Amino acid sequence: MANLSLLVAVLALSLSSVALAADNSALQDFCVADPKGQVLVNGLACKDPKLVEANDFFFSGLHTAGNTTNPNGSKVTPVFATQLPGLNTLGISMARIDYAPWGINPPHMHPRATEILTVLDGALEVGFVTSNPENRHFRVVLQKGDAFVFPIGLVHYQRNVGYGNAVAIAALSSQNPGLITVANAVFGATPDIDSDVLVKAFHLDKAIVNYLQSNKF
């Protein structure tokens, strides 16, 4: 009998870990991040609820276009728990993304969030690559008012394919989605990944690998 209940408990645990793929459910109304918190927890420590103010749930700045004068030709303005302390433990965040003509948001992934993106202005080519079926590439062109979802953990990108600037708003299913940009992670790691690993992995000449590694992103 004890063994049976143990089995049931283990099963329930393993099922719940599948269901809890995103941020955990909150145990209180809010846990506004305390920027001076000394305790290291999964997330940020809570500010005393009696000291919480309306401003802790407020962010201003998404009306301002990001500066896209950079090699990507794009700029992400994040609204994560760091920028909006009230988001702490709530499992959601957002960002504004600006794109110059032909600007890109390079291939990257969010280890902790699914992302839904809507175009406010311009036209964007968007895509992601799956793990199963292996390396299947899904791609569409979005116009103003269209939305597209990038499933959690998958490599995805955007490119402005219109003639003017493009603007999008992304919503993400984590207060802190995390960002791994493929090129930076592989060729810009510190200390370097041994170039021989990258020569074999990418079928590239060693000189090209060395060049990419020296050109820190």
Q: Are 147 and 118 in contact (CB under 8 A)?
A: yes
Choose among 152, 104, 155, 159: nearest CA to 126.
159
Helix axes 195-202, 206-214, angle to 10 degrees: 120
108 counts as binding ligand NAG under rule CB under 6 A = yes
Buried b or exposed e, range 17-42, using 16+ CB within 10 angstroms: eeeeeebeeeeeebbbbbeeeeeeee
Options 106, 151, 153, 178; binder of ligand NAG; rule CB under 6 A:
106
Q: How far is the CB of 109 from ligand NAG (least distance, A)?
A: 11
Structure tokens at 35: 């920027």
Interface stretch with ligand NAG, choices 37-45, 69-77, 118-126, 145-153 (CB under 6 A): 69-77
Options 67, 130, 131, 215; binder of ligand NAG; rule CB under 6 A:
67
**Choice between 76 and 116, CB closer to ligand NAG:** 76
Options 28, 71, 135, 214; binder of ligand NAG; rule CB under 6 A:
71
72 counts as binding ligand NAG under rule CB under 6 A = yes
Q: Is the peptide bond before 107 cis (omega within 30 degrees of 0)?
A: no
112 counts as binding ligand NAG under rule CB under 6 A = no
Query: How many binding residues for ligand NAG (CB under 6 A)?
Result: 11
69 counts as binding ligand NAG under rule CB under 6 A = yes
Q: How far is the CB of 189 from ligand NAG (least distance, A)?
A: 13
Instruction: Return the residues of window 158-197 that contact ligand NAG according to CB under 6 A.
Output: 181, 184
Alpha helices, DSSP H, located in the chain? 2-19, 182-187, 195-202, 206-214
Interface stretch with ligand NAG, choices 62-70, 109-117, 161-169, 199-207 (CB under 6 A): 62-70
Q: Return d(Cα 160, Cα 166) in angstroms, integer.
A: 6
Q: How far is the CB of 16 from ligand NAG (least distance, A)?
A: 33
> Is 115 assigned a ligand-binding role in the annotation?
yes
Distance (Å) of CA 43 to CA 19, 40, 81, 153: 19, 8, 9, 19
